[in-house]
Amino acid sequence: MKLQISTWLQNLGIASSIASLFTLFFRLSDFEWITKSVYHIPVFFVILFLISLIIAEDVRKICKRIFWYEKRKVKRPIWQVGIGFIFFLAQISMVMVFSKELTQPQLGGMPLFLVFAFMNAFILTIIYEEIFYRTSN
């Protein structure tokens, strides 16, 4: 049961990252319908999120193959990096799409939302590991 929830949460993070990043990229285009939103949620984001949910499992499996996850003797470090990256990218992409005004504050020349996203991803990875990581992964 925990493994299914873990996989579902990973796929949800991947899908939201894909949908947010593509929404951000296409928002810069000249297509007017891409900028339409309902209750401040871009319609294009919702469409891409639903499509991304379908392919998120495959993206996750491809990343595991690329980084030789199954061949590694000690899987924990690469598992932590993967989960942390999902959390980090999901936060950044959501801020860029839904809260663009949060990208303005700077901390010594670095956007403050990147610092918070990194700290949150670190903490979330530790919490996630305590709940879901098993030595059999």
- Checking if the pLDDT of 30 tops 80, the result is no
Opening angle at CA 85, ends 4 and 128, nearest 5: 45
Tell me the range of 35-44, 83-92, 96-105, 126-135 where mean pLDDT is highest: 83-92
User: Are the C-beta atoms of 129 and 83 separated by less than 8 Å?
Assistant: yes
Structural domain total, the chain: 1
Question: What is residue 27's predicted lDDT score, i.e. its pLDDT?
Answer: 77
- Checking if the pLDDT of 134 tops 80, the result is no
Closest among 57, 64, 47, 66 to 9, alpha carbons compared: 57
Q: Which residue range is the domain that position 76 belongs to?
A: 2-132
Return mean pLDDT, the chain. 85
How many CA atoms are closer than 13 Å to the CA of 56, on its beta-carbon side? 22
Burial 90-100 (b: 16+ CB within 10 A, else e): bbbbbbbbeee
Rounded CA gap, 19 and 37, in Å? 14
CB atoms inside a 10 Å sphere around CB 10: 21
Closest among 121, 42, 107 to 129, alpha carbons compared: 121
Question: What is residue 137's predicted lDDT score, i.e. its pLDDT?
Answer: 46
pLDDT single digits (tens) 77-115: 888 888 899 999 999 988 888 888 888 888 788 888 899
Residue 137 lies in a domain: no
